């Protein structure tokens, strides 16, 4: 039994309180299919999210089998299924792979045979068996809605919530999905299926209809009593009828007549021994019962009356049996951290391999960016000449020699500094491309999987492992390729490679944090590009920052620390080049150990923001 008791939720709009839900109360028995209907903006989706635990009502309770979900524990992820309006599956996976992934993330199956059986049963249950090998991107709208249902059915949920799963479908597909929801409500006598819909077609398939108007319940009963109550010829006329009166008057009218309708239409009882079993009435005609209809004339005597909501809850007795409690079976216990991480990582690499546009983009950057660097240093870096120790008798010749040597130092110092900075900036650009869309691009899928029991730590760990491979490949290849083609850039090679890797890891982590915080991949991409764009000018490698601003800005510039730490290694390994570099930069050249520490802080801060963004609910 699902009991919604006096749920109220308001928000401030232009300084005025607006009720999204206003004292909403109703009960739903097991084995029931309920439609929540109403005009756009009436609170249907908000109510659904309150039931699912995605939003919290300011007043009232949501009770499941007698327990208050807010205080006595939420539904276990295997008990709850939530199907959002739009597709929530990876486009490049097949239908079967999507279901297999859902099983791996949400259940503990004893072996592969059990997994195969569950996949087969789920495909059959939702009519997707002929489409098992098709990728999600080629499915029709109705087929994607079936897949959304299939992903939730792998745990056999007792409460299945569907948000506009029939919207935008053609009449045939809408009828098929509604029929499927009806079948699902009957396959498990303890299951409740609730569908939010704007459409008033196919209402005969529902056990009951809940009509919302401006956050108020204005009707709850069998579909065929709807036209009787509102005194309309067909269900489609209910929305124009609602617009003729305020929500308060409709709500007051329903409060006055609700108990009569519940008694006449909603439940009857038949004796079974000493107990009574609830049963939906299906053999009464509204015209023969003579129940009151909703008052709609402008002279209604209740027009000025304040709204009075009945808070009496309809009590129903239920047959007690072993199936009444929704116990969590062992195979539906959540998988562990390692199992979820492994599944997410395997799925991410599979998607990466199939996304040929991304593969070619990564390959182009991996090959093209190092080539860009070596264009400026393909002739190699020649050893620096030294001035003679003794003074030349020809003063003009000595001056010319010193000028030539000074020019050589400036040219070589600029080349060494520029090559190292160019590598760093291009590595951070690749890092931005790696992570900018990584979480924001699959936010809706992440939210659904978190509701189904996905651990944020497992999700983050899978991203770290996946992106870590890209970071190592890109940074190490950049450093080694340039080192080989340019016949060795002065400095300590292991330190330079390590700092390149850390620069890439730092920017990847920061952009991953940005991706986790943003609602859309487009916003995350733009902000990440800005972060990379500021790296070069704010590093002080080309134009020295004013001394007032440098200590404040440079700690946040990953490129500065990788570049500066790499240059510092010249001091012990190539002191002549170190002196040459110092002539072309006014910025401080920091020790590589300090640079490594600061870049590690960047990684830590970026991953902290990523974790916070993953944990924060961002349902649209």
Query: Is the pLDDT score of 206 beyond 90?
Result: yes
Q: Would you place residue 143 in the very low, low, confident or very high pLDDT band (cuts 50, 70, 90)?
A: very high
- Of 234, 207, 229, nearest to 218 (Cα)? 229
Q: What is the pLDDT of residue 315?
A: 37
Going by C-beta distance under 8 Å and a sequence separation of 6 or more, which residues neighbour residue 272?
319
Asked whether 579 and 409 are in contact (CB, 8 A), the reply is: yes
Q: What is the pLDDT of residue 292?
A: 67
Task: Classify 13 as helix, strand or coil.
Answer: strand
- The angle subtended at Cα 213 by Cα 211 and Cα 219, nearest 5°, is 30
Q: Would you place residue 209 in the very low, low, confident or very high pLDDT band (cuts 50, 70, 90)?
A: very high
Share of the chain above pLDDT 70, in %: 86
Query: Is the pLDDT score of 222 beyond 50?
Result: yes
The domain locations on the chain are 337-386+402-615
Question: What DSSP state is assigned to residue 330?
Answer: G
> In 197-209, which positions are buried (b, 16+ CB within 10 angstroms) versus exposed (e)?
bebbebbebbbbb
Cα→Cα distances 87→143, 372, 473, Å? 10, 41, 33
Q: Would you place residue 262 in the very low, low, confident or very high pLDDT band (cuts 50, 70, 90)?
A: confident
Q: What is the pLDDT of residue 199?
A: 87
Query: Is the pLDDT score of 134 beyond 90?
Result: yes
pLDDT tens track for 537-550: 888 877 777 888 88
Task: Classify 11 as helix, strand or coil.
Answer: strand
- Of 130, 125, 167, nearest to 145 (Cα)? 167
> In 9-44, which positions are buried (b, 16+ CB within 10 angstroms) versus exposed (e)?
bbeeeeeeeebbbbbbbbbbbbbbbbbbbbbeebbb
Query: Is the pLDDT score of 13 beyond 90?
Result: no
Question: What is the DSSP code string of 359-407?
Answer: HHHHHHHHHHHHHHHHHTTTT--PPPP---SSPPS-HHHHHHHHHHHHH
Average pLDDT score over residue span 494-522: 95
pLDDT tens track for 411-424: 888 888 889 999 99
Task: Classify 351 as helix, strand or coil.
Answer: helix
Q: Which residue has the higher pLDDT, 224 or 143?
A: 143
Q: What is the pLDDT of residue 306?
A: 36
Residue with tokens 């008057």: 249
Average pLDDT score over residue span 516-533: 92
Give the C-alpha separation, 154 to 238, whole Å: 37
Pairing type for strands 80-83 and 268-272 reads unpaired
pLDDT tens track for 69-108: 877 777 888 889 999 877 789 999 999 999 999 999 999 9
Number of CB atoms found within 10 A of residue 79's CB: 20
How does the average pLDDT of the chain come out, rounded? 84
Of the CA atoms within 13 Å of residue 421, those in its CB half-sphere come to 23
Q: Which residue has the higher pLDDT, 185 or 297?
A: 185
The first and second tokens of residue 9, run together, are 């939720």
Question: What is the DSSP code string of 191-257?
Answer: -EEEEE-S--TTGGGSSEEEEEETTEEEEEE-GGGHHHHHT-SSGGGHHHHHTTS-HHHHHHHHHHH
Query: Is the pLDDT score of 217 beyond 50?
Result: yes
Question: What is the DSSP code string of 60-116?
Answer: EEEEETTEETTTS-PPPTTTEEEE-SS--S-TTSBHHHHHHHHHHHH---SSHHHHH
pLDDT tens track for 458-500: 999 999 999 999 999 999 999 999 999 988 888 899 999 999 9
Query: Global pTM?
Result: 0.86
pLDDT tens track for 315-365: 333 333 334 344 555 556 889 999 999 999 999 999 999 999 999 999 999
- Of 517, 347, 345, 519, nearest to 444 (Cα)? 519
Counting other chains too, the contacts that 492-498 makes at CB distance below 8 Å and 24 or more residues apart are 492/569, 492/572, 492/573, 492/592, 495/565, 495/566, 495/569, 495/592, 496/420, 496/566, 496/569, 498/592, 498/596
Give the C-alpha separation, 514 to 601, whole Å: 16
Going by C-beta distance under 8 Å and a sequence separation of 6 or more, which residues neighbour residue 356?
none
Average pLDDT score over residue span 430-458: 94
Q: What is the pLDDT of residue 279?
A: 46
pLDDT tens track for 268-318: 333 344 444 444 444 434 444 456 677 544 434 443 443 333 334 333 333
Give the C-alpha separation, 219 to 483, whole Å: 75
């Amino acid at each position: 039994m699902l009991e919604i008791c006096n749920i109220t939720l308001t928000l401030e709009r232009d300084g005025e309180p607006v009720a999204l839900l206003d004292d909403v109360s109703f009960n739903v028995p097991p084995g029931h299919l309920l439609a929540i209907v109403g005009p756009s903006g009436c609170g249907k989706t908000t109510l659904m999210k309150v039931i699912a635990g995605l939003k919290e009502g300011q007043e009232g309770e949501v009770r499941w089998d007698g327990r208050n979900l807010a205080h006595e524990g939420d539904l276990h992820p295997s008990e709850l299924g939530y199907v959002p309006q739009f597709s929530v599956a990876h486009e490049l996976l097949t239908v079967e792979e999507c279901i297999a992934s859902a099983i791996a993330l949400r259940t503990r199956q004893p072996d592969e045979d059990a997994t195969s059986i569950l996949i087969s049963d789920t495909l059959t249950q939702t009519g997707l068996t002929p489409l098992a090998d098709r990728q999600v991107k080629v499915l029709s709208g109705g087929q994607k809605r079936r897949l959304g249902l299939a992903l939730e059915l792998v745990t056999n949920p007792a409460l299945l919530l569907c948000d506009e799963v029939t919207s935008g479908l053609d009449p045939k597909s809408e009828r098929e999905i509604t029929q499927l929801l009806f079948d699902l409500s009957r396959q498990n006598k303890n299951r409740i299926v609730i569908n939010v819909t704007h459409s008033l077609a196919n209402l005969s398939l529902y056990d009951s209809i809940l009509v919302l108007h401006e956050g108020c319940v204005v009707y709850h009963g069998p579909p065929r009593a709807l036209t009787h109550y509102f005194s309309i010829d067909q269900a489609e006329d209910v929305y124009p009828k609602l617009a003729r009166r305020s929500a308060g008057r409709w709500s007051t009218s329903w409060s006055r007549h609700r108990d009569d309708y519940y008694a006449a239409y909603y439940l009857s009882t038949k004796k079974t021994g000493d107990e009574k079993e609830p049963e939906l009435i299906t053999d009464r005609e509204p015209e023969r019962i003579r129940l009151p209809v909703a008052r709609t004339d402008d002279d209604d005597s209740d027009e000025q009356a304040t709204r009075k909501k009945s808070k009496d809850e309809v009590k129903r007795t239920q047959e007690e049996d072993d199936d009444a409690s929704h116990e969590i079976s062992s195979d539906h216990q959540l998988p562990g951290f390692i199992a979820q991480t492994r599944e997410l990582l395997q799925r991410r690499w599979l998607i990466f391999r199939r996304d040929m546009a991304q593969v070619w983009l990564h390959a182009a950057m991996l090959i093209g960016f190092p080539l860009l660097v070596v264009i400026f240093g393909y002739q190699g870096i020649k050893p620096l000449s030294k001035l003679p120790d003794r003074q030349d008798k020809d003063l003009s010749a000595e001056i010319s020699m010193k000028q030539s040597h000074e020019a050589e130092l400036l040219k070589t110092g600029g080349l060494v500094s520029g090559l190292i900075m160019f590598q760093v900036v291009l590595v951070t650009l690749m890092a931005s491309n790696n992570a900018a869309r990584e979480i924001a691009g699959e936010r809706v899928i992440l939210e659904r999987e978190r509701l189904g029991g996905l651990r944020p730590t497992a999700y983050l760990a899978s991203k770290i492992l996946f992106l870590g491979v890209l970071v190592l490949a890109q940074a190490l290849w950049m450093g080694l390729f340039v080192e080989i083609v340019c016949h060795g850039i002065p400095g300590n090679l292991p330190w330079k490679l390590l700092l390149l890797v850390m620069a890439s890891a730092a920017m990847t982590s920061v952009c991953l944090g940005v991706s986790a915080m943003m609602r859309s991949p487009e916003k995350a991409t733009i902000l990440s590009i800005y972060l990379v764009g500021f790296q070069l000018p704010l590093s002080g490698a080309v134009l020295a920052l004013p001394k007032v601003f440098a200590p404040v800005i440079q700690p946040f510039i990953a490129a500065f620390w990788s570049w500066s730490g790499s240059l510092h290694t010249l001091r012990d390994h190539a002191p002549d080049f170190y002196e040459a570099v110092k002539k072309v930069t006014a910025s401080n050249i920091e020790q590589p150990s300090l640079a490594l520490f600061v870049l590690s802080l960047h990684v830590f801060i970026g991953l902290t923001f990523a974790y916070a963004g993953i944990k924060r609910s961002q349902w649209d």
